[in-house]
Chain A
């Protein structure tokens, strides 16, 4: 049973560019959440997708957007990249339909903005 997978593993972008990160949830999970983990800090909630809609959003600007596909996979898009966007981006999946409150995390995508 594959766990949560994310791609790419690492990414280097220049300020002002746009980036798309991808996530496939654990088998049987229908909900995907995205978190940003800056160096030396705990993860911060960006947003959560369920039934292809954004259900909750953290305190992140509109430059951060997402999408969920019918197969439950998800994308995180960040526009107009800033140096401060450099971080480890973590995807987590869960199954709200089954009432599961624990989230399972992928290995993350490390984004470096230069």
Chain B
């Protein structure tokens, strides 16, 4: 069975500083990987995804994530955060053979300080 571990439950960071959110997954088959963001009192928004091809994927608002198959990781990075990036971030995985059922990590709360 697949599982997802987000190693940091909370990450405080100053505005314009870089941030990295760590995500490791456990699966014995091919996987698809996702990062979702959840702002307070809202649903989840897809931030970026890895389905195949280049292992480095980018979002339109400056986030990037790199799929590392040997380390079974999909860490999320942003070189310079804004106050508006304050939110909860969820890493999720789906197995190719299991449709698109998502298994989520426990989430990482990012608090950007001025």
* Chain B associates with chain A: yes
Which A residues form the contact surface with B (CB < 8 A)?
Answer: 4, 31, 33, 35, 40-45, 48, 55-56, 58, 90, 92, 94, 96, 100-108
Chain B: interface size category:
20 to 34
Q: Which A residue's beta carbon lies closest to that of B32? A: A101
Total of A-B residue pairs, C-beta within 8 Å: 64
Contact A45 B102 (CB under 8 A): yes
**Cα(A90)–Cα(B32), bound, Å:** 20
Check if B46 sits within 8 Å of A102, measured CB to CB.
yes
Most chain A beta-carbon contacts within 10 A, residue among B4, B36, B98, B100 = B100
Binary per-residue interface labels of chain B (5-48) against chain A in the complex, 1 for a CB within 8 Å, 0 otherwise: 01000000000000000000000000010101000001111100
Question: Would A42 and B98 count as touching, CB distance under 8 A?
Answer: no
